[in-house]
Amino acid sequence: MKQLIIEIGVEEMPSSVMKDLNIELDQSFASFLKQHRWEHDESKVHLSPRRMVFSAQGLKEQQTAETQKVKGPPLRIALDDKGNPTQALKGFLSRCGTDQWHQEETPQGAYCYATVTLDNMNVATFFTQVFAEYILRFPFKKKMRWGNYSFIRPVRWICAYYDSLLLPLELLGVKSESFVRGLHGQEEIPIQSAEDYWNKMKEHQLILDMQDRIDLIRRHLPLNADPQLVEENANRTESPFVLEAAAPSSFSGLPHEIVYTVISNQMKCFPREKSREDKSIKGFLLVMNGQKDKNLVRKGFEKVITARLNDAKYFYEQDMKTPLSEGLEKLKSMIFMEQIGSIYDKVHRLVKIAEILHLESQYPLLKQVLLLMKNDLSTSLVAELPELQGVLGRIYAENEKVAHEVADAIQDHYHPRSEGDPLPHNELAVLAGALDRADTLSGAAGWNIPFSGSVDPMGLRRCLNGLIRIFTHCTLPFEPKMLFESCYEAYKESDLNLSMDKEKFISIVDEWFSQKVYAHLSQHWRYDMVQASMVSKLENPKNIAQKVQLLSEVGEKKEFRTLCESYTRIQNIVKKKPAHEVQFQSLEEDQERNLYESFKRIEAKLDQLSALNMEMLNHLFELNQPVEDFFEHVFVMSEDENIRKNRCSLLYAVKQLINRYFDLSRIVFEGGKTL
């Protein structure tokens, strides 16, 4: 079985791009082979820091032969009055490389067609001519420039074989040769064929598959090792070996979070804690690239970690000399967003938002949290280790004997940072985190700062996702709309008044909010039920989730479909709010009076409910029979204008009662049709 192997050797690629790039290249190369009609059993792309490897197993020697029917000019301009080919037909046939053509009738008239035989190149010719163009046109997100060239990283060698045939590829001034390079400092590795390439990789312990490197590293680590750190080490090595090293004992007095962060975040190693109860660091595990002098590597890591811990200890001791509360003034010089001022301005807006929401009486410690929770950003150690923001705030607050709930909230208000991150575990942190995120989003909305998944330098998408998770899973003393209205008022009273009126501001925030809530819930529930449950601006995601759950439980029931049909029928009749309320004395028929009385009775029952539960839906189902009787016996569009308007007002009132909870016109039944 013949195989193709192309290795492009480059300078080290950044570990942060490796995972996504590997997936994208793998899919792209498979599409490339398919597009150009290359039959093969399997294709694969492997990435390591210094090499990009393209392989195809069972690759045929030539492209699959194929012909195509090509449409040419209309017959009326392809031939002259005497039936001779015009220049239009001659040019078409020349481009197709043939002198044969035929005519076919189409809805637009008669046209000329030619049958074209596509190129049927062999492996050597095709890949020599086409592969370089393919890889140079691949949309790498970031490229380097050197000389006249541009690529993800400078190309240093190329090795390309089809079985034992060396393919004469050339890429960015580098020609393919019969060798590859191993790790830094090692000699060139001669390659004689595609099969020999895989043997030499195994012989020199160069692991090309990213998942294989991850699995190898994991086998030598504790079960709770950080998966992102494992992946990063796998993307920084080609021949990973795990070594154990000792942590310097002279730093046992430093908080373990600082030691842990220096070892893991700065040195990309795996700290080892003494026990589940004792979090102090007893040592660490490092990943080296290739077989080297283990003692030399170990001592090198220990030396660098000692130096960095010395720096951290110095900054920590300097920070401890200044009370955390004094850090607030330093925040005046730290710009949060250009349009919405400094972090100092933000802190005082948060205090104002809490006042507008009247939170201080119920949560007397909240103001202290708000005034302290950003102050560690002004410390020297956070400048050195920004990953510790919040954590150091808690540590410094605890050292100053601040209330335990306040210290915890300083750290926890940053949670959740990502989808898998835990939620805050105390109510002060929940409140502070919600206010913090809402203020950020309000400033961005008020100043039309756009964001998307790929362009989001201020982390607004992450901020919005965190706020939605807080509302969905935590209990808050306010609704989202009330929170954002308070943010608007706080901005209005500051020197950074937002550039739009409140109605437009709420509309922008609601658009962001609703899109994310819908995206989150529609991953787990029917999209139409999610849409049907989103009926008001900035509705609480927890309420929406509860309503979707209820709809999912009754979605197959007859009374639910009847209610949806009734709602949709009413909506088709009553397009807008009537000018007058229902006048009971003007209702003529028994069925319309019965509907009105049923409506009032059900409305009273719903007003008494304090929770969204099945009882609410059962009350709405009580509308089914009165509505059916109404439509069976009452003609809505009476010639008498007053009667017609009164009946429309009644139907509108019924619709609005359902609209408290649902827009049932969104529900899709069999056949993919809304009612």
Query: Residues 641-672: pLDDT tens digits?
Result: 888 888 889 999 999 999 999 999 999 987 54
Looking at residue 453, what is its pLDDT? 60
Q: Is 354 exposed, middle or buried, given 0-12, 13-18 or 19+ CB atoms closer than 10 A?
A: buried
Q: Are 9 and 180 in contact (CB under 8 A)?
A: yes
| Tokens coding 163 | 């079985």
Q: Are 335 and 341 in contact (CB under 8 A)?
A: yes
How far is 423 from 585, CA to CA, in rounded Å? 55
> Is the pLDDT at 675 greater than 50, yes or no?
no
Length of the chain: 675
Looking at residue 405, what is its pLDDT? 96
Average pLDDT on 392-408 reads 95
Last residue of a domain, one of 260, 284, 319: 319
Phi, psi (deg, nearest 5) at residue 348: -70, -30
- The residue ranking higher by pLDDT, 350 or 119, is 350
Same domain, 198 and 214: no
Per residue in 149-163, pLDDT (tens digit) is 999 999 999 999 999
Same domain, 339 and 487: yes
Same domain, 438 and 304: no
Q: Does residue 540 lie in a domain region?
A: no
Q: How confident is the model at residue 452 (pLDDT cuts 50, 70, 90)?
A: low
| Tokens coding 164 | 């034992």
| Tokens coding 21 | 């790039």
Q: How confident is the model at residue 617 (pLDDT cuts 50, 70, 90)?
A: very high
Per residue in 526-560, pLDDT (tens digit) is 999 999 999 999 999 999 999 999 999 998 899 99
Average pLDDT on 5-25 reads 95
Query: Structure pTM?
Result: 0.79
Residue recorded with tokens 């509360």: 325
Q: How confident is the model at residue 454 (pLDDT cuts 50, 70, 90)?
A: low
Residue recorded with tokens 């500051």: 494
Q: Does residue 535 lie in a domain region?
A: no
Q: Does residue 534 lie in a domain region?
A: no
Same domain, 505 and 383: yes
Average pLDDT on 105-115 reads 90
Average pLDDT on 333-346 reads 88
Q: How confident is the model at residue 112 (pLDDT cuts 50, 70, 90)?
A: very high
DSSP for residue 620:
H
For 65-69, 101-105, 356-360, which range has the lowest pLDDT when averaged over its residues?
Answer: 65-69
Same domain, 313 and 219: yes
Same domain, 381 and 308: no
> Is the pLDDT at 41 greater than 80, yes or no?
yes
Looking at residue 579, what is its pLDDT? 79
How far is 537 from 452, CA to CA, in rounded Å? 21
Q: Are 166 and 178 in contact (CB under 8 A)?
A: yes
Q: Supply the range of the domain harboring residue 566.
A: 551-674
Q: Does residue 16 lie in a domain region?
A: yes
| Tokens coding 654 | 């019924």
Same domain, 334 and 458: yes
Last residue of a domain, one of 319, 347, 370: 319
Domain count, the chain: 5
Last residue of a domain, one of 138, 173, 203: 203
CATH number for 574:
1.10.730.10
Per residue in 489-531, pLDDT (tens digit) is 999 888 776 778 899 999 999 999 999 999 999 999 999 999 9
Encoded amino acid at 429, one letter = A
Query: Which segments of 402-555 does DSSP mark as H helices, in order?
Result: 404-412, 427-446, 460-473, 480-493, 502-521, 527-533, 541-554
Tell me the chain's radius of gyration from C-alpha atoms.
Answer: 35
Q: Is 581 exposed, middle or buried, given 0-12, 13-18 or 19+ CB atoms closer than 10 A?
A: exposed
Average pLDDT on 611-628 reads 93
Per residue in 260-282, pLDDT (tens digit) is 999 999 999 999 988 777 778 88
CA 589 from centroid of its chain's CA atoms: 57
Q: Does residue 199 lie in a domain region?
A: yes
Residues 6+ apart with CB under 8 A from 574: 648, 651, 652, 655
Same domain, 55 and 166: yes
Residues 6+ apart with CB under 8 A from 649: 578, 580, 581, 582, 583
How far is 123 from 138, CA to CA, in rounded Å? 21
How far is 455 from 122, CA to CA, in rounded Å? 43
Same domain, 179 and 291: no
Residues 6+ apart with CB under 8 A from 24: none
Looking at residue 671, what is its pLDDT? 56
- In 3D space, the residue among 628, 642, 657 whose CA is nearest the CA of residue 578 turns out to be 642
Q: Does residue 358 lie in a domain region?
A: yes
Average pLDDT on 232-258 reads 91
Average pLDDT on 441-455 reads 79
Neighbours of 649 (CB within 10 A): 19
Phi, psi (deg, nearest 5) at residue 174: -110, 130
Q: Does residue 530 lie in a domain region?
A: no
How far is 23 from 70, CA to CA, in rounded Å? 35
* Averaged pLDDT of the chain: 91
Looking at residue 340, what is its pLDDT? 81
Same domain, 58 and 80: no
Same domain, 287 and 138: no
> Is the pLDDT at 673 greater than 80, yes or no?
no
User: How crowded is the C-beta side of 559, counted as CA atoms within 13 Å?
Assistant: 13
Same domain, 488 and 388: yes
Distances (CA, A) of 364 to 350, 406, 469: 15, 11, 25
How far is 51 from 204, CA to CA, in rounded Å? 15
| Tokens coding 327 | 């850090």
- In 3D space, the residue among 24, 15, 25 whose CA is nearest the CA of residue 53 turns out to be 25
Q: Does residue 429 lie in a domain region?
A: yes
CA torsion through residues 592, 593, 597, 598, sign: negative
Average pLDDT on 217-241 reads 93
